[in-house]
Amino acid sequence: MRPLLAFSFAALCSLSTSGDAAERSAVPEKYKWNTADLYPSDTAWAQAKAEAEARIPKVAAYQGRLGESAAVFHEALSALMDLDSAITRLGVYASMRSDEDTREGSTREMDQQAEALGVRFSAAVSYLRPEILALGGAKVHTFIVQDERLWAYAPWLEDLLRYEPHTLSAPEEKVASQAGMMASAAGAAFSILKNADLPYPEITLSTGEKARLDAQGYSKHRAAPDREDRLKVFKAFWSKFKEYERTFGTTLNAHLKTHLFEKEVRKFPSCLEAALFDSAVPTGVYHRLISDVHAHLPTLHRYLRLRQRMMGLEELGYEDLYASIVKKADPRFTPEEAQALVLEAVAPLGPKYAADLQAGFKARWVDWMPTTGKKSGAYSTGAYGVHPYQLQNFTGLYEEVSTLAHESGHSMHTLLSSRSQPYPTHDYKIFVAEVASTLNEDLLLRRMLAKTKDKDMRLFLLGSRLDDLRTVLYRQTLFAEFELRIHELAEKGEALTGEKVSALYLGLLREYYGHAAGVCRIDELYGVEWAMVQHFYYDFYVYQYATSITAAAKIASDIRAETPGARDAYLRMLSAGSSKPPIDLLKDAGVDMASSEPFEAAVREMNAVMDEIEALLSAAPGR
């Protein structure tokens, strides 16, 4: 059994800082998270770790006894969940302490010890799922009726029982588990090739600056204001990937074989169904997303033509999609101002939501400042029975205020769920996780637009939102369709060479971006873009970015319109944890992900943003 470890939700975009970071010792306490709420000291953590280790044999001793009686069944589950909670708390603390300064050996060692403890716990309770499934649904349900203390475990048990048709005999499970150790090999090889061994090119820009085009350099310089520089960046970067196309094709093909193995041994009709089973998401939701995107490609093409107009280009190319289309606004904010803005933004969610978040800011949930050795980026994490935490790297940019809103959405989701749910159902699936964060970003944008009349700032805000909608609604769905297509080919037994994968990806790029209609030119070289995408070594993950932004757009629209019951239904969803399948939780919140309505709400917003941008441009001749 996998421990119910708390999720840490990474921000969609890593933050970067300029200049020399300060040492952590120079940062005022009010800008550091208060880890003492987890353990008063590292010494106390070590003592708690020793106590948790001593409890592992006790939960392992329930093996073979789960069917004795309802009382024993409850006793075993209670002991297991209590220990799972304790080990998760140990892991959260150790990870946070390590992230404060990744140079520090003692906290890295704590993090490794916590991870090892989690592995030992998982091994000790690996009997749980097969033994419960061997009892059968009828006996489990009888136990629930006989002992009301088991009611809190009912949703968790029902979810576990779903796996019965896909669970093997004990010897077969052992073989499958051993084979699973090889599942990450292809992804690891890809990562080493991409991040360490690939000889990235170096070019000279029109400014005379020499630029090394690794992943970070490419992300920076593809947005160069000079078009010739952008063309040079794209040609050099993707030509290098083209040289290694065969190798990247080999690692991707090897990874797909692990999914085929899982599909076959677990008796799923397709790799897609196998991947979506854990979250209980119907495959129709995935297919609906793709069909909705194709139905609304004209909205994407409208955006591309607007971008071409704003950039003053005779022809729009794929190289032009990352350059800024508006004058860069550069407002700066203090942490206190960022908190105030986010609290103003979430006001539509009610005074209790805002008060809880404000109390969290005051209680030092957030670690604010970039410091030497600190983990980059941003995330929200937490431990049951304590409260959420956030890691930030705040330098005052508006994008970082938006990141605070994003992570605060995750934090409040965690708080409300943990406050309302027992431990077995306090966690929630990724399918709903990004709804809470994305909705808060939407609310922040609305608040910022309400506060500013400056045209440049409004264009900056609207342009940023438009880029978000383009990249999440359309680009992530393109990734999702590509992932589906390559799995379907693999299921048919077709070999997937790098050249074949590039041809497939190029066809999708040109279809989405209107290449044949002259909307956006896609050079044949860019068909190798798939070779850079780490997410293709996950398992049908990226579609959830698109479904989350569509669900958030629908819910936010209903809340802004003050649709009766919309806000309360949303807050109930945040409080529901995993007490229901995520698709049902969203339906309770007014979003039917099996329909086109959520996607259409997002497309309406995208068109409304373009309407306002066009109106601002018309009102400002010469822009």
Return the active site residues.
407
446: DSSP letter: H
Contacts of 393 (CB under 8 A, 6+ apart): 15, 17, 369, 370, 374, 376, 377, 378, 400
Measured CA to CA in angstroms, residue 393 lies from 99, 104, 373, 452, 486 at distances of: 12, 18, 12, 26, 37
Calpha distance 473→467 (Å, rounded) = 10
Per the CB < 8 A criterion, the answer to whether 205 and 213 are in contact is: no
Helix axes 70-100, 105-124, angle to 10 degrees: 160
Contacts of 504 (CB under 8 A, 6+ apart): 482, 485, 486, 489
Residues in the chain: 623
Q: Can you read off the two tokens belonging to residue 438?
A: 């994305």
Q: Give CA 527 to chain center in angstroms.
A: 25
**Which amino acid belongs to residue 329?**
A
191: exposed, middle or buried (Cβ count in 10 Å: 0-12, 13-18, 19+): middle
Contacts of 398 (CB under 8 A, 6+ apart): 329, 331, 333, 448
User: b/e per residue, 554-587, with b = 16+ CB within 10 A?
Assistant: bbbbbbeeeeeebbebbbebbbbbbbbbbbebbb
Q: Can you read off the two tokens belonging to residue 212?
A: 């090394």
515: exposed, middle or buried (Cβ count in 10 Å: 0-12, 13-18, 19+): middle
Report the chain's C-alpha Rg in angstroms. 25
Contacts of 609 (CB under 8 A, 6+ apart): 462, 465, 466, 469
